[in-house]
Amino acid sequence: MDTFYYLIQNMLPIAIPLLLVALGGMFSERSGVINIALEGIMLFGAFFGCLFVFFTQNSNVNPQIILLLGMIVAAIAGLMYSMLLSFAAVNMKADQTITGTALNMLIPAAILLFAKMKFNSDGITTDMNFYIKEVPILGKIPVLGELFFQKTYLTVYIGFLFLTITTIVFYKTKFGLRLRACGEHPQAADSVGINVYKMRHCGVGLSGILGGIGGFFYSVGVMDGNISGHTGVAGFGFLALAVMIFGQWKPIKIMFAALFFAFLRTLAYSVALIPFLNSLNINQTYYKMLPYVATMVVLIFTSGKSRAPKAEGIPFDKSK
Amino acid sequence: MLNNLFSPKRTSKESSAFTAALLAIALGLIFGFIVMLIASPANSLSGVYMMIFGGFKRLGDVFYFATPILMTGLSVGFAFKMGLFNIGASGQYTMGMFFALYVGFMWKMPSSIHWIACIIAGMIGGLIWGFIPGILKALLNVNEVIASIMLNYIGMYLVDMLIQGNATMYISAKTRTSYLPASAQIPSLGVTNSNVNVSIIIAIGVAIILYVVLKKTTFGYELKATGFNKHASHYAGINYKRNTILTMVIAGGLAGLGGAFAILAPSAIPGSSMTYEPISVIAASGFNGIAVALLGNSSPIGIIFSALFISHIQRGGTLASLYGYKPEIIDVVVAVIIYFSAFAMIMNATVGKFLKKRYRKNHEQSSAGAVISTNKDIKKENKEA
């Protein structure tokens, strides 16, 4: 049972970045822009979030408040960076995949450059402690308290809050409906007076905000408040894209997909602690490959009847 | 054929791709200059000078470092021609490297053919890693971008594990592979202080073969037709599934060759060789290949020059570290170049229109009679564009 608790407690902080970034990707793709730059956006957000933490860590402010402020900084950073993508994709009608790849390549190099010049290291190292040992009162609940309210991070609760907000915005507001229309049939949306360019900018911008926050939460929940230009976010942006496809571009399904991947990854990194898996004596590298192999397998089974937004990747031209 | 080569339409299209690339390069270099200016203003001029011209001092090295990215560039560019985005060149490159290493260490062969066998093995390694996303795309409609990104990670972990598990290849005390036998190394071209070797000639040969394949064969025609319009080519009876698999396999093989060329290069110090360090990092050459392919407008001949150019500024970037600049600045510059080249064609057209407008304005002021003829010219040009 302890192992089970351990796995769940460790899984949630890993699932949250995947969830948020995949939700961001969903906004972007449902508005019609393929966002392969999520990896770069995450890293950009994580970098500025960590930079903020680095400069405020000695100020005696409560760590959880710094976390919230860092989150806002990361969101703004992500938004700014994503605007580079939406400018190229929406205004300049550039190839979205290529632009995204360029943005992914730029950030690790830029971080390495900056960190080597300013800190003489590969990234930013902070010694802030965001870890929550036990949430007061709620942590005392039998089973549930131990599963969800002990040995965790604030990021987990913020993540589920964002999931709720996202689902409501996506399905229950005029904005959500218009956004989805732009990804399915932009000409039809345009004919009823929806500004497709604006909606697509909004979609990419939201993916930037969620991507930036997701990146910062990755560095908080997975990297202990550090970020490095070498390892970056270890392909989490790409995994999030797979999570989004697995979740069929729908918020709740995306949540389950994110939990599934996070579970596999937690399992891969805690083989030594699980007596059954440890006794099998399989090379640890196989477990590290597991999330990526699982993604491939999932894609194989879901791609055939894939419900991708119809107009994604096609630049909208009003005059057509 | 000569007629075709010099027809006005063709020249204008080719030249617009060329000026677009130049525009992107200029913007990238300006960005690099700004970064240098912020980092250390005093040295920025000499730093930029080094970045742009430094490569000429190390021409041998420019050719040597151009070889792998030329191959990955061809790999990405070839797939582009069919409308496939082979972001998996990194994984294919790593697999090629591993296969070449394996044959180099584990097979005993006469020295005249050992290195050739290693190169072929590298190609096969890449072929396999390109075949997987190809067949998944063709038969199961799996997005080739996501599939090949996953294969990049799987390939990286797999190769690191296989190398670390092999006592002949891996020296755990040095955390690197041991030195390859001399028979497995590609013959050097004998330039002093440089590792430049026969592989650059092979690579350029491969580029020319690809050019011929794309221009003169049915397969090349079908490939380009599919890239222009998938549905129309399907209607015309072109076998999309077969061509997808074939394209990805060829693209994989090209990237695999790049990996083999990189690891089998001879060392300037006798008795040593290139080594591979398994540190779980995705091979950068694959991503540089994307830059090379874009800059070369996916044409095999263009890719030769863009690979040389990227290698040239990379050497320059290394030399710029004499002035205290970190070599990562080149990666930043290259990324900015790709970003701009993604919409450089449109930007180019906008700049062109602007210049034409200025030109027209000036002429209107100078003489009324000339206006009519220039306007006609402009209209004509617009139509052609």
Estimate the share of chain A in helix, then strand, then coil, as percent rounded to the nearest 5: 70, 5, 25
B4 to B7, B8, B10, B330: CA distances (angstroms): 5, 9, 8, 39
How does the average pLDDT of chain A come out, rounded? 87
Query: pLDDT for A50-93, tens place per residue?
Result: 999 999 888 888 888 999 999 999 999 999 999 999 998 888 88
A162 to A229, B210, B307: CA distances (angstroms): 27, 50, 45
Find the mean pLDDT for residues B250-259.
95
Query: pLDDT for B284-334, tens place per residue?
Result: 888 889 888 988 888 999 999 999 999 998 888 888 888 878 888 888 888
List CB contacts (< 8 A) between A99 and chain B.
Answer: 339, 342-343
CB contact under 8 A, A105 and B161: no
Chain mean position to CA A164: 16
Residue A190's CB: how many other CB atoms inside 10 A?
A: 18
CATH of A2-302, one of 1.10.287, 3.30.70, 1.10.3470, 3.55.40: 1.10.3470
Alpha-carbon gap: B355 to the closest alpha carbon of chain A (Å): 19
pLDDT of residue B378: 47
Spell out the domain ranges in chain A. Answer: 2-302
CB contact at 8 A, A106 and B336: yes
- Closest to B333 in 3D by CA, of A120, A105, A164, A44: A105
Query: pLDDT for B79-129, tens place per residue?
Result: 988 888 898 999 999 999 999 999 998 888 888 889 999 999 999 999 999
pLDDT of residue B367: 54
Q: Which residue has the higher pLDDT, A143 or B236?
A: B236
Q: CA nearest B281 in A: which residue?
A: A231
d(CA B317, CA A97): 27
Residues with Cβ within 8 Å of A165's Cβ and at least 6 positions away in sequence, in order, are none
CB contact under 8 A, B150 and A288: no
Element counts in chain B: helices (H) and strands (E): 16, 2
Residues with Cβ within 8 Å of B7's Cβ and at least 6 positions away in sequence, in order, are none
Residue B354's CB: how many other CB atoms inside 10 A?
A: 10
For chain A, list residues whose CB is within 8 angstroms of any CB belonging to chain B. Answer: 36, 84, 88, 92-95, 97-99, 101-103, 105-106, 108-110, 112-113, 116-117, 229-231, 235, 238, 241-242, 245, 283, 285-286, 288-289, 292-293, 295-296, 299-300, 303-304, 306
CB contact under 8 A, A105 and B141: no
E strands present in chain B = 170-171, 176-177
Q: Which residue has the higher pLDDT, B62 or B327?
A: B62
**Chain position carrying tokens 């582009």:** B80
d(CA B363, CA B168): 75
Which of A165-174, A242-251, B186-195, B278-287 has the highest average model confidence (pLDDT)?
Answer: A165-174
